[in-house]
């Protein structure tokens, strides 16, 4: 009536479920192993791409740093050459200016000396003329004094002569008018009067001579004072000043070449391992494959 026989060792519902579960587990294990392997390869490729990008960024930064160093060195070199050229031009300008100023100052000094020398010569000439004038004036004053004294002497001579004639006349008249003793007294009186007049005249002449000598000394003293005044007003003979020292070039400036700039340090990129993801994927895949029953895929491992 039934088509099958009871077989206690045959298939049962539990065995079918277990077999199906084992199959699914084996399939999932294979899939997981393959996925782990594929994931490892993908991770390795991603790490390689990141390493390549990091290396590219590193190379770009290094090139930029080297370019900046080259530009800095070129700029420093141009500035250094410009500083040397500017220093050379400024040094030449200052030296030329110093030489011209020295020449100008020397010419001014010579001109001032010549002007002072001309003024001195003019002062000497004026002094000499003043001394000559003083000498001539003193000589004329002395001549006038001598003429005055001579006139006094001439007048005294005329007076003496007149007195003598007058005395002779008085004596003659006394001799004619009187006789004997009276005549002698009259003559003595006349002689005495003549002596008094002669004494007065002599005293006057002596006084005139003494005054004349004083006047002559005064003339000499006045001339001496005028000469001193003229000489004191005369300029002192100028002396040529020492030559203005020639300009001296200062020591040249010492230039220090600028220090060469070097490329800034760029840290090397940290490279990710491209082998580790593959190894990890292989290890995970091997672990997954290890749970698969390759002899009986329907049997749970």
Question: If you average pLDDT over residues 106-111, what whole number do you get?
Answer: 94
| Residue 172 vs residues 160, 164, 237: alpha-carbon distances, Å | 18, 12, 77
The answer to whether residue 86 sits within a structural domain is: yes
φ/ψ of residue 77, rounded to 5: -65, -45
pLDDT tens per residue, range 197-207? 677 777 777 88
For the chain, percent of residues with pLDDT exceeding 70: 62
For the chain, percent of residues with pLDDT exceeding 90: 28
The whole-angstrom separation of Cα 96 and Cα 125 is 43
Contacts 24+ apart (CB under 8 A), 23-31: 23/297, 23/298, 25/291, 25/300, 25/301, 26/291, 26/292, 26/293, 26/297, 26/298, 26/301, 29/288, 29/289, 29/291, 29/292, 30/288, 30/289, 30/292
pLDDT tens per residue, range 157-185? 777 766 666 666 665 555 555 554 555 66
pTM: 0.52
For the chain, the domain total comes to 1
The answer to whether residue 60 sits within a structural domain is: yes
The answer to whether residue 258 sits within a structural domain is: no
The answer to whether residue 269 sits within a structural domain is: no
- Name the pLDDT band for 3 (thresholds 50, 70, 90): very low
pLDDT tens per residue, range 28-41? 555 665 666 666 67
pLDDT at position 221 over 80: yes
User: How much is the mean pLDDT over the chain?
Assistant: 76
The answer to whether residue 282 sits within a structural domain is: yes
Q: Which domain holds residue 228?
A: 13-236+276-290
Per-residue pLDDT at 118: 93
Q: Estimate to the nearest angstrom the gap between the alpha carbon of 241 and the chain centroid.
A: 25
The answer to whether residue 260 sits within a structural domain is: no
Specify whether the CB–CB gap between 199 and 191 falls below 8 A.
no
The answer to whether residue 1 sits within a structural domain is: no
**Which is more confident, 192 or 134?**
134
The answer to whether residue 265 sits within a structural domain is: no
pLDDT at position 137 over 80: yes
């Amino acid at each position: 009536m039934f088509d099958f026989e009871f077989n206690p060792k045959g298939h049962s519902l539990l065995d079918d479920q277990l077999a199906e579960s084992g199959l699914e587990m084996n399939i999932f294990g294979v899939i997981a192993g393959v996925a782990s392997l594929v994931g490892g390869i993908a991770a390795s490729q991603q790490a390689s791409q990141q390493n390549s990008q990091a290396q590219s960024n590193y190379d770009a930064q290094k090139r930029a740093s080297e370019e900046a160093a080259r530009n800095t060195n070129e700029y420093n070199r141009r500035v250094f050459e410009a500083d040397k050229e500017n220093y050379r031009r400024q040094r030449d300008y200052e030296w030329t200016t110093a030489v011209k100023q020295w020449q100008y100052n020397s010419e001014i000094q010579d001109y001032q000396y010549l002007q002072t020398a001309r003024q001195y010569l003019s002062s000497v000439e004026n002094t000499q003329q003043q001394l000559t004038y003083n000498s001539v004036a003193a000589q004329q004053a002395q001549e006038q004094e001598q003429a005055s004294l001579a006139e006094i002497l001439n007048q005294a001579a005329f007076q003496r002569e007149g007195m003598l004639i007058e005395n002779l006349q008085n004596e003659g008249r006394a001799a004619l008018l009187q006789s004997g003793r009276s005549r002698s007294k009259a003559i003595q009186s006349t002689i005495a009067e003549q002596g008094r007049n002669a004494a007065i005249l002599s005293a006057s002449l002596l006084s005139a001579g003494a005054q004349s000598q004083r006047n002559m000394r005064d003339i000499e003293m006045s001339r001496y004072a005028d000469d001193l005044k003229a000489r004191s007003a005369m300029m002192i003979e100028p002396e040529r000043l020492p030559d203005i020292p020639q300009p001296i070039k200062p020591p040249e400036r010492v230039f220090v070449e600028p220090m060469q700039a070097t490329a800034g340090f760029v840290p090397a990129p940290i490279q990710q391992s491209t082998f580790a993801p593959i190894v990890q994927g292989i290890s995970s895949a091997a672990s997954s494959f290890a749970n698969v029953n390759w002899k009986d895929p329907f049997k749970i491992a």
